[in-house]
């Protein structure tokens, strides 16, 4: 899509990734029932730091596609469709020439790949996520700290862990630090700074703030509920003043104010309420003026302007991306 100076989006073209999707079916669902959020994750697509390469998970055939981004018009060209040794890739994080991938299946839930100049990926490490008792490990997101020192994984709704790995100089990962933080069903997280980390908390209908040091998360006393079910996806404005949480149930977006220390204030539990279910991945423009949210159950992206006080104002939405099933759209990123 192209983005106008007023923040509105226009569908430009589409490019096949060369991999297989999931047909809207979650990993391990023996009934093969299509659902809006088949990946149950955040960051299923991401871009390189220099905005030249797009990375996409193909959960249906366990591959990762790399696509070159035309710097003049944003058009995409598939460079490589890379096979992985994992099962059902869900979330991606890129840092310093290394791509990190989380997987729903298998024993090695996180893998690290060197990104080569031709778009191919070379596996340099595969890592388990420490178990919390007998609870299932189903990572929903991975993210790299701003300084590139740590990779952090939301380990899934069964384990209730947030796990951090130190990143070595070559991109491999060090020994995991497993944090059982009191967050029940953490889904998505984001760094406010190298020392402050925010996480959504589905079961408690909340957003929680932590101090982050040497891979260890310590609650800093800021735990704020939105009062609405299933707060999942999380994005923070570039200036660090506001956070927006998308709801995986009935679809509103909650807005929060953030202090420099990470203290949270609920601004509006219904900052956006389009009566459209599953407010999924979001992206905020680099200038902090616009928020874009993928509504997974409706197959469309809705655009909002961000006010000086964090308020959201809808400015339009293009036609649904998928008008056949309206349930298969996953992931969102911009440049």
Concatenated DSSP letters for 132-193?
-TT------EEEE-TTSSEEEEE--TTT-EEEEEEBPTTS-B---EEEE-S-SSEEEEEEEE
**What's the pLDDT score for residue 299?**
83
Q: Which two tokens stand for residue 301?
A: 């992206």
The pLDDT of residue 325 is above 70: no
Element holding 9 (H helix, E strand): strand 9-10
- For the chain, how big is the Rg over CA atoms in Å? 18
**What's the pLDDT score for residue 175?**
97
Q: Please state, rounded to an integer, the average pLDDT across all residues of the chain.
A: 92
**What's the pLDDT score for residue 143?**
98
The pLDDT of residue 321 is above 70: no
Cα distances (Å, whole numbers) of residue 293 to 290, 297, 327, 330: 10, 12, 15, 11
Q: What percent of the chain has pLDDT over 90?
A: 73
pTM (2 d.p.):
0.95
Per-residue model confidence as pLDDT tens digits over 21-62: 898 899 999 998 888 899 999 999 999 999 999 999 999 999
Rounded Cα distance, 154 and 110, in Å: 11
The pLDDT of residue 117 is above 90: yes
**What's the pLDDT score for residue 182?**
82
Question: Shortest CA distance to 208 belongs to which of 227, 192, 222?
Answer: 222
**What's the pLDDT score for residue 195?**
97
The pLDDT of residue 323 is above 70: no
CB-based burial, 58-89: b 16+ in 10 Å, e otherwise: bbeebbbbbbebeeeebebebbbbbebebbbb
The pLDDT of residue 319 is above 70: no
Q: Which two tokens stand for residue 201?
A: 């908390």
Model confidence at 223, pLDDT cuts 50, 70, 90, reads confident
**What's the pLDDT score for residue 230?**
86
**What's the pLDDT score for residue 322?**
60
The pLDDT of residue 18 is above 70: yes
Model confidence at 320, pLDDT cuts 50, 70, 90, reads low
- For residue 105, the cross-strand partners are 87
**What's the pLDDT score for residue 203?**
87
Q: Which residue has the higher pLDDT, 222 or 170?
A: 170
Say if residues 321 and 300 touch (Cβ distance below 8 Å).
Answer: yes
**What's the pLDDT score for residue 159?**
83
**What's the pLDDT score for residue 218?**
95
Architecture of domain 2-316 in this structure: 7 Propeller (2.130)
The pLDDT of residue 112 is above 60: yes
Per-residue model confidence as pLDDT tens digits over 61-108: 999 999 999 998 999 999 999 999 999 999 999 999 999 999 999 989
Q: What percent of the chain has pLDDT over 70?
A: 97
Give the other-Cβ count within 10 Å of 313's Cβ: 13
Matching residue, tokens 């679809």:
251
pLDDT mean over 227-252: 91
Angle at 197 between CA 192 and CA 201, to 5 degrees: 120
Rounded Cα distance, 169 and 124, in Å: 12
- For residue 203, the cross-strand partners are none
pLDDT mean over 129-154: 91
**What's the pLDDT score for residue 86?**
96
Those residues with Cβ within 8 angstroms of residue 92's Cβ, 6 or more apart along the chain or in another chain: 43, 44, 45, 46, 55, 57, 64, 99, 100, 101, 102, 142
The pLDDT of residue 135 is above 80: no
Q: Is 298 exposed, middle or buried (0-12, 13-18, 19+ CB in 10 A)?
A: buried
Rounded Cα distance, 156 and 40, in Å: 9
**What's the pLDDT score for residue 275?**
75
- For residue 94, the cross-strand partners are 99
Model confidence at 324, pLDDT cuts 50, 70, 90, reads low
**What's the pLDDT score for residue 326?**
53
The pLDDT of residue 168 is above 80: yes
């Amino acid at each position: 899509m192209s983005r106008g100076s007023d923040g509105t989006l226009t569908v430009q073209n589409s490019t096949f990734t060369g991999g297989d999707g999931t047909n809207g079916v979650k990993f391990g669902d023996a009934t093969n029932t299509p659902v809006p959020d088949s990946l149950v994750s955040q960051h299923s697509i991401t871009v390189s730091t220099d905005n030249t390469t797009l990375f996409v998970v193909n959960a249906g055939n366990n591959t990762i596609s790399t696509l070159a981004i035309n710097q003049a018009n944003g058009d995409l060209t598939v460079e490589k469709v890379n096979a992985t040794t994992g099962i059902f890739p869900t979330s991606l994080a890129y840092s310093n020439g290394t791509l990190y991938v989380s997987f729903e299946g298998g024993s090695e839930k996180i893998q690290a790949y060197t990104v080569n100049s031709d778009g191919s990926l070379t596996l340099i490490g595969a890592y388990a996520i420490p178990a919390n008792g007998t609870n299932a490990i189903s990572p929903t997101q991975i993210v790299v700290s701003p300084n590139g020192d740590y990779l952090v994984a939301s380990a899934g709704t069964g384990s209730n862990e947030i796990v951090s790995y130190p990143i070595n100089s070559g991109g491999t990962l060090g020994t995991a630090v497993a944090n059982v933080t009191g967050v029940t069903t953490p889904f998505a997280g984001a760094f406010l700074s190298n020392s402050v980390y925010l996480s959504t908390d589905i079961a408690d209908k909340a957003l929680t703030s932590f101090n982050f040091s040497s891979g260890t998360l310590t609650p800093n006393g800021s735990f704020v509920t939105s009062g609405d079910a299933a707060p999942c996806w999380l994005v923070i404005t570039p200036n660090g003043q506001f956070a927006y949480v998308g709801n995986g149930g009935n679809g509103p977006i909650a807005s929060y104010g953030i202090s420099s220390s990470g203290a949270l204030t609920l601004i509006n539990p219904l900052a956006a309420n389009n009566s459209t279910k599953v407010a999924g991945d979001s992206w905020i423009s680099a200038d902090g003026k616009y928020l874009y949210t993928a509504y997974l159950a409706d197959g469309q992206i809705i655009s909002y302007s961000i006010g000086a006080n964090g308020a959201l104002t809808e400015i339009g939405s293009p036609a649904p991306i998928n008008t056949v099933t309206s349930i298969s759209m996953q992931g969102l990123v911009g440049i």
